[in-house]
A and B are shown apart, each in its own frame.
Chain A
Amino acid sequence: MTAVAQTLPAARRSKRMTPARWGLYAFIFITALYFLLPLYVMVVTSLKPMAEIRQGNLLALPIAPSIDAWVKAWTSACTGLTCQGIKVGFLNSLRILVPSVAISILVGSLTGYALSLWRVRGANILFGAMMVVAFIPYQVFIYPLVRVFSFTGLGQSLFTIVIIHTIFGLPTMTLLFRNYFASLPVELFKAARVDGAGFYQIYARIMMPMATPMIVVAVILQTTGIWNDFILGLVFAGRDNLPMTVQLNNIVNSTQGERAYNVDMAATLLTALLPLAVYFGSGRWFVRGIAAGAVKG
């Protein structure tokens, strides 16, 4: 070894904060701002009186914060002709949400169970077809479905929208449960068969109790999905059952005269509240739901 080689960079003891690291944190900080900005603006706008909004800065904190806009948005904002606030939509959304989530998970898990553990002829074709149609836009089905429902006399109703959510949730729910049941040790299923349990007994007594994690994921996925739906609710729920998203859009985009931005933002936040609560409440489960729902096929 030569003496030159002895003088290798023996310095740089700590690698904690290099320039690259500073750049990284700067990037994270700036992107985080971009993602947080709309939420922040929504909150501050909803707490300002209109006068302050007109004169002040979009980003400024409210000088005299007030929840008047929230109260108004909830109880008396106008959607077209009626002025009962967005609470009507909230209640409608809840009435749509609960049965839709329950029934779609029930049907989806049963289908996934039948497709994964029982060798029914044509099961793979059925499953493959379901994965293909999951990608097709609703616009392709909507008109015939409207006709079918009006022909059967159901028309636009709570019942109709629940069925519609079940139908369009079926591919994802089936995929979710099929993959989960297929990942369980098949010996479990065989042991239950040897013990003499039948199709529905195995489903109800053994498989579903084991599928709790998947049920949680499915509930998260369906709750946010159905709550956030706009187009299906608009077309199938009927005038008296319009979900919150539709009512929100009506409040904001069909006002006459000057727009009450604070009320608009309060209503928007109220509509986003449930999915946000689900998201922040469920933590990693939400990510898991995305992962499970994202990996189609």
Chain B
Amino acid sequence: MQKSNVDIRSLQIGFGGLKVLENLDLHVGASEFLVLLGPSGCGKSTLLNAIAGLIEVKGGEIHIGGRDVTWAEPKDRGIAMVFQSYALYPRMSVRRNMSFGLKVARTPQSEIERRVAEAAQMLRLTNLLERRPSELSGGQRQRVAIGRALVRHAGVYLFDEPLSNLDAQLRAELRVEIKRLHARLGATMIYVTHDQIEALTLADRIAVMQGGVIQQLDTPKKIYREPVNRFVASFVGSPAMNFIPGKLARGSEVAFIAGVNQLSLTGYAFRSQPTEAPAVLGIRPEHIELTASNDPSSVSARVEMVEPMGADTLIWCRLADGTAFSLRHDADTQVRVGDTLTVRFPADAMSLFDETSGQRL
């Protein structure tokens, strides 16, 4: 099975006067699992449909496996696609659904049977081959849809929110299955989702999109730890990152002033020379540490609400100046509403953003 890379160069897409994508560049390596993540309307599905050839582009080029396929028909692009609504042909059996495209392409019968059997075995569909889509559960239907893509032996597999119509448990199961499939086939996969858990668990790299622009293209770890702007920071992570408004101050050392509290920034990797300006401090709930009250860099906060979440507990606190934040703690924490906690914000886990531009400092 060949593994194609995908190269997108200054792609432009618009409907009428509306520009959806403008000058978008993206390179996906062979065998890479790339996730396009973003809220609805960010252009991620549009981009995927453009790669598939289902939307006409206004400008730019799309190369798949080294070939310029910008104006090629979908079937000639060496792609396969899995859809959110499964898009199974309702009046055909599972076997026919999987083999129909090959049959139309005049693939030899023995080859068709071999590929269908192989895909069915891989997806545990062998016993369901003679059923109609209406006789299958949601999870089975989506496995059939994946099977229909697999038999094409494509260079790139495209997934358009494939798990969005499933309930939480099935979603987790199929997520694992897709990851296993990628590990086994080593195929190039481009996967669109608005679910950040899916993105973080599946991707080699994530492209976070908003407003038709790729905000950040990085490994899941980098995206999570070092978001490049406030949008990425707030979109990825659950429970959400805390944002504390304040300003930067340069004394003997660089510090963040939030109301009456001063937080040390020693150890924070600034991207450029810090200046004294209003800024927003972002920190994830699990990175805030409880500490002893005599720690000089600590601040004290009052507990307003305690949310047990099973594996751990989310504690909602408020600083003396009114700033609210949440922190993650053990499941068996003894903290009660009304307690006063002493907490520390480790500088190496922080993200600082410019207040106006929202860019990482």
Determine whether A and B are in direct contact in the complex, meaning some CB atoms lie less than 8 angstroms apart: yes
> B13: shortest Cβ distance to chain A, in Å?
15
B56 CB contacts on chain A under 8 angstroms: 15
Please determine whether B65 and A1 come into contact, CB atoms closer than 8 angstroms: yes
B76 at the interface (CB under 8 A from A): yes
Stretch at the interface among A5-13, A95-103, A145-153, A238-246: A5-13
Please determine whether A8 and B76 come into contact, CB atoms closer than 8 angstroms: yes
CA distance A6 to B66 in the complex (A): 7
Please determine whether A1 and B71 come into contact, CB atoms closer than 8 angstroms: no
Sort chain B's interface into a size bin. Answer: 10 to 19
Taking a contact as CB atoms closer than 8 A, the residue among A6, A11, A12, A13 that contacts B67 in the complex is A6
Interface string of B68-79 (1 = CB under 8 A from A): 111110001000
Chain A residue at smallest Cβ distance from B2: A1
Interface string of A38-59 (1 = CB under 8 A from B): 0000000000000000000000
- Residues of A21-68 contacting chain B, CB below 8 A: none
Taking a contact as CB atoms closer than 8 A, the residue among A5, A6, A9 that contacts B71 in the complex is A9
A15 CB contacts on chain B under 8 angstroms: 56
Please determine whether B66 and A8 come into contact, CB atoms closer than 8 angstroms: no
CA distance A15 to B56 in the complex (A): 9
Sort chain A's interface into a size bin. Answer: 10 to 19
CA distance A160 to B65 in the complex (A): 79
> B49: shortest Cβ distance to chain A, in Å?
15
CA distance A8 to B72 in the complex (A): 7
Of the listed residues A5, A6, A10, A13, the one surrounded by the most CB atoms of chain B closer than 10 A to its CB is: A10
> Would you call the interface of chain B mostly helix, strand, loop, or mixed?
loop
> A65: shortest Cβ distance to chain B, in Å?
43
B72 CB contacts on chain A under 8 angstroms: 8-10
- Residues of B223-277 contacting chain A, CB below 8 A: none
Please determine whether A5 and B66 come into contact, CB atoms closer than 8 angstroms: yes
Interface string of A97-122 (1 = CB under 8 A from B): 00000000000000000000000000
B68 CB contacts on chain A under 8 angstroms: 6, 8, 10
Interface string of B55-94 (1 = CB under 8 A from A): 0100000000111111110001000000000000000000
B70 CB contacts on chain A under 8 angstroms: 10
Chain A residue at smallest Cβ distance from B72: A8
> A283: shortest Cβ distance to chain B, in Å?
24
Please determine whether A8 and B69 come into contact, CB atoms closer than 8 angstroms: yes
> B53: shortest Cβ distance to chain A, in Å?
11
> A80: shortest Cβ distance to chain B, in Å?
57
CA distance A12 to B68 in the complex (A): 13
> B23: shortest Cβ distance to chain A, in Å?
19
CA distance A1 to B155 in the complex (A): 12
A8 CB contacts on chain B under 8 angstroms: 67-69, 72, 76
Chain A residue at smallest Cβ distance from B70: A10
Please determine whether B66 and A13 come into contact, CB atoms closer than 8 angstroms: no
A13 CB contacts on chain B under 8 angstroms: 71
> B69: shortest Cβ distance to chain A, in Å?
7
A10 CB contacts on chain B under 8 angstroms: 68, 70-72
Interface string of A168-205 (1 = CB under 8 A from B): 00000000000000000000000000000000000000
> B16: shortest Cβ distance to chain A, in Å?
14
> B170: shortest Cβ distance to chain A, in Å?
30
A9 CB contacts on chain B under 8 angstroms: 71-72, 76
Chain B residue at smallest Cβ distance from A1: B66
Chain A residue at smallest Cβ distance from B73: A9
> B214: shortest Cβ distance to chain A, in Å?
25
A6 CB contacts on chain B under 8 angstroms: 66-68
A5 CB contacts on chain B under 8 angstroms: 65-67
Of the listed residues B65, B69, B71, B72, the one surrounded by the most CB atoms of chain A closer than 10 A to its CB is: B71
A11 CB contacts on chain B under 8 angstroms: 71
> B6: shortest Cβ distance to chain A, in Å?
13
B76 CB contacts on chain A under 8 angstroms: 8-9
Please determine whether B66 and A12 come into contact, CB atoms closer than 8 angstroms: no
Please determine whether B65 and A12 come into contact, CB atoms closer than 8 angstroms: no
> B71: shortest Cβ distance to chain A, in Å?
5
CA distance A272 to B51 in the complex (A): 53
> A14: shortest Cβ distance to chain B, in Å?
9
CA distance A285 to B72 in the complex (A): 42
B71 CB contacts on chain A under 8 angstroms: 9-13
B65 CB contacts on chain A under 8 angstroms: 1, 5
Chain B residue at smallest Cβ distance from A15: B56
> B70: shortest Cβ distance to chain A, in Å?
7
CA distance A55 to B233 in the complex (A): 84
CA distance A10 to B66 in the complex (A): 13
Chain B residue at smallest Cβ distance from A12: B71
Chain B residue at smallest Cβ distance from A13: B71
CA distance A15 to B53 in the complex (A): 13
Chain B residues at the A interface, C-beta cutoff of 8 Å? 56, 65-72, 76
20 A/B residue pairs, CB under 8 Å, sorted by A: A1-B66, A5-B65, A5-B66, A5-B67, A6-B67, A6-B68, A8-B67, A8-B68, A8-B69, A8-B72, A9-B71, A9-B72, A9-B76, A10-B68, A10-B70, A10-B71, A10-B72, A11-B71, A12-B71, A15-B56
Chain A residues at the B interface, C-beta cutoff of 8 Å? 1, 5-6, 8-13, 15
Task: Given contact pairs A6-B68, A10-B71, A10-B72, enumerate 11 new A-B contacts (beta carbons under 8 Å).
Answer: A1-B65, A1-B67, A5-B66, A6-B66, A6-B67, A8-B69, A8-B76, A9-B76, A10-B68, A10-B70, A11-B71
6 tightest A-B CB contacts, nearest first? A1-B66, A10-B68, A5-B67, A12-B71, A8-B67, A1-B65
